[in-house]
Amino acid sequence: MILQGKRVDLPAAPVVHQRFEAHAAATPDAVAVFWAGQEVTYAELNAKANRFAQFLFARGIGRGAKVGVCLDYSTDMLVAILGTLKAGAAYVPFDPAYPSARLQLLLGQVPDLALIVASPATAGMVETADAEIVDLQEMAGQLENLPATAPDVTVTGDDICYAVFTSGSTGTPKLTAVRHEGWFNLMNWLTLEYGLHSGSNHLVVSAFGFDLSQRSLMTPLFCGATQNLMASRNFDAMMAYRMLTERGIRVVHCASSTLYLLIDWENARRGDALTRLDYVLFGGEALKVERLLEWQAREGNTCTLLHQYGVAECTDVATSYDLGAYRTGEHPVPPVGTPAYNTDIHLLDEELRHVAAGEQGEICIAGASVGKGYLNNGPENAKFTTIEVDGQPLRVYRTGDRGHVNEAGELVVLGRIDAQVKVRGMRIDPTDIERALARLDGVREAAVAIAYTEAGEAELIAFTVPAGADLAADALRSGLLETLPRNMVPAHFVNVPRLPLSPHGKVDRVALVDAHRKQNAAGGLAA
């Protein structure tokens, strides 16, 4: 089974920062970025980025080089990113919201890091790196003496623009490299397909280390709009909602769990800032559609929810679905839609043969979005492989996700192949149980995690956020047994006030299990 995206011609050099430069030339006085009460124009941001690019170029840091960026959201972050791109190099986010031990692990995974841009608040977090650390504010005088024009560097669509870390099945983070062509294609599709324009002002709400944050940062500059950055290292729902209300924001990109939080904030205050948005583009985890339907049905809600699917290895987004077309009961799992421009979805069996229409298969991605691969090598680079289509070799990325195509020709993601666990001899995907729990009365949210007994046997723990009073374990068990076999019913049910989120804005199941263990060790009881 193959789903094909629309074919759209790209420029000879599909290079992202050149679109920003075109806007800087055409509308130099337009506001490019708002941060901490200050506005910076396209001309000002372009000049600052050019001077940093000249600095890098003079140091011999150009095509093929990697520049680390460990900064809080700020104008300097965009200067560092754009300057790195203009020099022909690729940037690597080191998120200051990460624990120190995590940052040290990531630093050790980047081969030949040329330089790290940090600030006084973040430099200590990366001081163990072999690379030199520079501070843009400390260098301000030096940079002012450099040309405000970009260095003469040829950048191609096949060059790397950034590399982000993604979790590895071995437990070691993988550094996956994205090409300019893939990034340009993604933002060109978003701009053309959804009519983004100079008024499509954005607000970044996800952590810097998240793959989603890279397009969230650059898309408004790609279409000539204003990028709004929160002066906060970690997600702050109150600050985010205030900026949505005051800054004329039109577009937000976020993980599904972050969207639930924003909707809860809006509902609690009877506000309408979210409902007045043009788009929320969200995904990254299994959708709890019940959390969105009531808000989506509010009178006067003009916000389009785009439920999207993709992986960091293939430039973040592969498919998109307008959730306004979803009808409760039509499909047990909401679709993730049809492919982006110049992107194809192949559903393959274990022998890498295409499955028949309606059958489940592994989701494999082909086309412009497929990245360079993992820079720190390792056996997982085998996920980038070649299949034969119509007698021709085709490079694809094997996502490890399973799915099928519904009658409407839309992709439906069913879960991770490697997330399945054997419980009492049967393979189970916890995502299927989460969906069943979400359909039960009184369940606001649910997450199912895998834990192991002292004997080493896997067991399932359901963490539920009640819509009202605490939920009784017996009632939840009975409800699940109406739709699920007995071996899929969790061994334990735990009421929690909320589901904790990782820095990327996704449900943190490891934190849930750890908290549960500590509670039991302290004498707490689970149902």
Q: Write down the domain spans for the chain.
A: 2-325, 342-416, 421-521
| Contact (CB, 8 A) for 109 and 165 | yes
Strand pairing partners for 178? Answer: 162
| Crossing angle for the helix pair 180-193 and 16-26, to the nearest 10 degrees | 50
- DSSP letters spanning 23-42: HHHH-TTSEEEEETTEEEEH
Q: Which of 116, 46, 177, 276 has its CA nearest to residue 262?
A: 276
Q: What is the DSSP letter of 94?
A: -
Q: Which of 204, 219, 250 has its CA nearest to residue 72?
A: 204
491: which residues sit within 8 A by CB, 6+ positions away?
Answer: 459, 460, 461
Task: Return phi, psi of residue 403, to 5°.
Answer: -165, 180
**Lowest mean pLDDT segment, chosen from 7-21, 164-178, 387-401:** 164-178
Rounded to whole angstroms, how far apart are CA atoms 35 and 242?
14
Q: Quick one: average pLDDT of 178-190?
A: 97
Whether the pLDDT of residue 186 is over 80: the answer is: yes
Whether the pLDDT of residue 525 is over 50: the answer is: no
Query: What is the model's pLDDT at position 224?
Result: 97
Strand pairing partners for 273? Answer: none
What letter represents residue 281's amino acid? L
Task: Return phi, psi of residue 345, to 5°.
Answer: -110, 125
3-state secondary structure 153-190: CCCCCCCEEEEEEECCCCCCCEEEEEEHHHHHHHHHHH
Q: What is the DSSP letter of 5?
A: P
Which CATH superfamily is 421-521 part of? ANL, C-terminal domain (3.30.300.30)
Rounded to whole angstroms, how far apart are CA atoms 509 and 501?
9
Strand pairing partners for 497? Answer: none
277-320 residue pLDDT tens: 999 999 988 788 888 988 998 999 999 999 999 999 999 999 99
Q: Do domains 2-325 and 421-521 have the same CATH topology?
A: no
CB atoms within 10 A of CB 381: 14
Instruction: Identify the sign of the CA torsion 479, 483, 485, 490.
Output: negative
13-35 residue pLDDT tens: 999 999 999 999 999 999 999 99
User: What does CATH list as the number for 2-325?
Assistant: 3.40.50.12780
> Binning pLDDT at 50, 70 and 90, where does residue 422 land?
low
| Contact (CB, 8 A) for 499 and 447 | yes
220: which residues sit within 8 A by CB, 6+ positions away?
Answer: 200, 201, 202, 226, 227, 251
| Contact (CB, 8 A) for 437 and 495 | no
Average pLDDT over the chain reads 90
> Binning pLDDT at 50, 70 and 90, where does residue 503 land?
low
User: What does CATH list as the number for 342-416?
Assistant: 2.30.38.10
Element (H, E) at 44: helix 42-58
Query: What is the model's pLDDT at position 463?
Result: 94
Whether the pLDDT of residue 170 is over 60: the answer is: no
Instruction: Identify the sign of the CA torsion 82, 137, 231, 28.
Output: negative
35-88 residue pLDDT tens: 999 999 999 999 999 999 999 999 999 999 999 999 999 999 999 999 999 999
